[in-house]
């Protein structure tokens, strides 16, 4: 088997700089046209903010973020793990028949899976605040019709 090491191509941002991950905004719930990646110029909807060692910030897509922060800090890893669990939760919220309920800092979601069984999930308000542009307000607006106890 051939090794499948991904070749990292240098684009706008130099690769010999140590970047740290400062934040991620998940774009599917943001209105608007998206942003241009500072690294590869692609239009991106999920935007990671990274900073170089002088603190200068750049907005890049998640793929570029991963190639620019090849040795992520523990804090970056924790943020990515939280982001991944948030996007899994959001996938459940996006099911057509999903119903959601807010309570105690948690958003509970349920939907019927293809096999007919009910599936459940939950996400934390702090994750929504962290990863959704506009925070809880935007989230509630986006999913208002699916919330059984909207605030």
Q: Does 47 bind Zn ion (CB under 5 A)?
A: no
Pick the stretch among 27-35, 59-67, 77-85, 97-105 that binds Zn ion (CB under 5 A).
Answer: 59-67
Interface mask toward Zn ion for 62-101; x: CB under 5 A: --x-------------------------------------
Cα separation, 70 vs 13, in Å, equals 14
* Structure-token pair, residue 90: 């959001």
Q: Taking CA 13 as the corner, what is the angle to CA 10 and CA 87, rounded to the nearest 5 degrees?
A: 95
Q: Which residues of 102-113 are buried (b: 16+ CB within 10 A; e: fewer)?
A: beeeebbbbbee
Q: How many residues does the chain have?
A: 151
Contact 138, 126 (CB under 8 A): no
Nearest distance, CB of residue 40 and Zn ion, angstroms: 3
Enumerate residues 6+ apart whose C-beta is below 8 A from 146. 93, 98, 99, 100
Q: Does 61 bind Zn ion (CB under 5 A)?
A: yes
Q: Does 25 bind Zn ion (CB under 5 A)?
A: no
Nearest distance, CB of residue 65 and Zn ion, angstroms: 8
Cα separation, 16 vs 142, in Å, equals 40
Which of 25, 30, 37, 93 binds Zn ion (CB under 5 A)? It is 37
Nearest distance, CB of residue 3 and Zn ion, angstroms: 24
Pick the stretch among 54-62, 66-74, 84-92, 102-110 that binds Zn ion (CB under 5 A).
Answer: 54-62
Q: Which residues of this protein are in contact with Zn ion, per CB under 5 A?
A: 37, 39-40, 61, 64
């Amino acid at each position: 088997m051939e090794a499948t090491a991904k070749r990292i191509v240098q684009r706008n941002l130099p690769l010999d700089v140590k970047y740290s991950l400062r934040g991620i905004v998940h774009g599917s719930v943001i209105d608007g046209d998206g942003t241009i990646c500072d690294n590869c110029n692609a239009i991106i909807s999920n935007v990671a903010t990274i900073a170089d060692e002088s603190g200068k910030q750049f907005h890049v897509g998640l793929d570029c973020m991963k190639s620019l922060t090849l040795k992520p800090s523990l804090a970056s890893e924790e943020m990515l793990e939280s982001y991944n669990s948030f996007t899994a939760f959001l996938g459940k919220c996006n099911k057509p028949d999903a119903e959601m309920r807010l309570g105690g800092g948690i958003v509970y979601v349920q939907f019927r899976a293809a096999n007919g069984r009910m599936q459940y999930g939950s996400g934390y308000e702090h994750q929504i605040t962290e990863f959704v542009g506009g925070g809880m307000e935007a989230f509630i607006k986006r999913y208002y019709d699916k919330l059984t106890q909207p605030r």
